[in-house]
Structure 1
Amino acid sequence: MELRHLRYFDAVAETLNFTRAAERLHVTQSTLSHQIKQLEEELGAPLFDRSAKRVRMTETGEILRSHMTPALQQIDRGLQALRAPGGAITASIRLGATSSFNTRMVPQCVATLLNHYPNIRVSVEELPAGMITKRLASGHLDLAVSYRPGEGSELWFEPLYNEELRLVVGTSHPLARRRRVRMVELHNVRMVLLPRQFVTRKLLDECFEQAGAKPLVAAQINSVAPMLELIRQTDLAGIITETALSQAADLRVIPLEDPTPIRTPGMLWHKGATRSPVLKHFAEIIRRAAGA
């Protein structure tokens, strides 16, 4: 069964006249009749009753059209969206993201979206994971890149990938030349970390406790970029997710072990929310950026 068979069937079903349907489709009546016959043979049942003077749909034809018409309309809308210039599409998207994703990944995805649709308006809020779930649940955000919410949440969570958190230090730090660092070795090490209300900080505190380590938390900052800058200018160490890190000559990024802190970021949206075609496209851009 091909798309043209369904379009031919739809034209005949709408006009109930093979001659008018053929004129609308710009084909000969014999071609149209042949295509309808092929479709009937494939389905194993007649779609039209041609015995009377007037063409009528059979019960099979009625059932097929009731299911097929919405599908054809959806296909036509998709084709129109492809043919329409991106500048003709307007919409707004409200995105929430934790600080680690807002450093590199989110700007990259927003740039890709705006290159497709220059008239789209995107609002990005950098928030802790807990606040993101609240703003999604209340309808103040359309989509978020964050972490899995707690049990009983009214949000859908789509995992994107697993990522390690890495130790980050300046080039002159005593740990700068290490290939790997055990969590216990961070005992009494001066550090800058996210505040305690962040889910990532809670994970790190659990890892420190498991390893029997108590770092000296000299500073707490709720955004990754200033954390990295503080590490550059001091002897402080930090622990940052892979997503937020890039190659820098003045910083050293070192894997952690025993235990290795691992998080699973993903996309979040409200279960009852309607997602527009543009929002679905944006979600696909995020999936590609995450390699999901």
Structure 2
Amino acid sequence: MELRHLRYFDAIAETLNFTRAAERLHVTQSTLSHQIRQLEEELGTPLFDRSGKQVRLTEAGEILRSHMTPALEQIDLGVQALRQPGEAITGSIRLGTTPSFNTRMVPQCVATLLNHYPGIAVSVEELAAGQILKRLRSGHLDIAVSYPPSDGGDLWFEPLYNEELRLVVGVHHPLARRRRVRMVELHDVRMVLLTPQFLTRKLLDDCFDQAGAEPLVVAQMNSVAPMIELIRQTDLAGIITETAVSQSADLRVIPLEDPTPIRTPGMLWPKGATRSPVLRHFAEIIRRAAGTAA
């Protein structure tokens, strides 16, 4: 087994597509397939299920990846450390994120990265999903945490988990003691929501239409943190992703149903872009944080 076999396996495991992995590795698809067959023969077990329309990791592949990814990461960091020892590793990462992830998850991930690499500069831009796509394509962002693009043929999207959007109210709100709330019950309820430029708002508007409800949207904001603070200080209700807000003494977070608003966040980056070892490490930090949030 050689290091290149593991690099090839990692690329396919990340994209679940032999053609895309070959493009990323700058090799032919036949070369890539041959190398993976060699690896599977050496290990004595298939690593990918190729029987359906979509390539999937087998159980053996999942086990190998869970142990191999940290090892590859350490190899990359070791090579870079030899070139730039210790805390001398410098550089920058430009991250785009939608508001929901910039209240808790993204700051936690950035903190973890900076603890590893104090010489790295991180720039975080809180944007609507459409703006994120534009800035990724223009080269102004290296990576993003957002939602799947409808026209993302030139971008990689790696789903992280499924998340519910939940009703958030103050403790004295009439709905505060409910275990669940149906969307139709939000008809004529005074609310604060994200502005219409956000995909999350469009999703909620669709859910309201399905339920036949028309809330009284008396405030609209382009960031989640001030929405939460406004809910604390008023009688307004809001709908926020469950990863962005937690139960507290002065707030209640309540599941919604009929329909339940659900989104699939993930990581986005431009196809063909070179990813430094530090950027790869940052992506792994995001994956681990997402695994905790899921």
TM bucket normalised to smaller: 0.7 to 0.9
Q: Which residue of 1 aligns with 2:79?
A: 80
Change (3 A) 1:152 1:86: same
Is the CA contact 2:95–2:142 (under 8 Å) kept in the aligned structure 1?
yes
Deviation at 1:196, TM superposition (A): 0.6
In 2, distance between residues paired with 1:198 and 1:99?
9
Larger-Rg structure = 1
Report matched runs for 1:1-292 at 5 Å.
Answer: 78-81=77-80, 85-291=85-291
TM-score scaled by structure 1? 0.73
Kindly tell me the number of residue pairs found equivalent between the two proteins: 223
Is the CA contact 1:86–1:116 (under 8 Å) kept in the aligned structure 2?
no
Deviation at 1:217, TM superposition (A): 0.2
Change (3 A) 1:229 1:216: same
Is the CA contact 2:144–2:268 (under 8 Å) kept in the aligned structure 1?
yes
Is the CA contact 2:191–2:238 (under 8 Å) kept in the aligned structure 1?
yes
In 2, distance between residues paired with 1:99 and 1:188?
26
Q: Which runs of 4+ in 1 moved over 3 A?
A: 74-86
Is the CA contact 2:114–2:120 (under 8 Å) kept in the aligned structure 1?
yes
Is the CA contact 2:76–2:277 (under 8 Å) kept in the aligned structure 1?
no
SS in 2 for 1:131: helix
Deviation at 1:150, TM superposition (A): 1.1
Share of identical aligned residues, percent?
A: 80
Q: Which residue of 1 aligns with 2:50?
A: none
Change (3 A) 1:125 1:258: same
Deviations 1:181-234 (A, max 9, x none): 000000000000001110000000000000000000000001011001110111
In 1, distance between residues paired with 2:74 and 2:191?
55
Deviation at 1:88, TM superposition (A): 1.6
Unmatched segments (≥5 aa) in structure 1: 4-42, 44-73
In 1, distance between residues paired with 2:224 and 2:199?
14
In 1, distance between residues paired with 2:217 and 2:74?
56
Deviation at 1:79, TM superposition (A): 3.4
Deviation at 1:2, TM superposition (A): 8.6
SS in 2 for 1:201: helix
Q: Could you tell me which amino acid in structure 2 is paired with residue 79 of structure 1?
A: G
Q: CA RMSD for the aligned pairs?
A: 2.1
SS in 1 for 2:191: strand
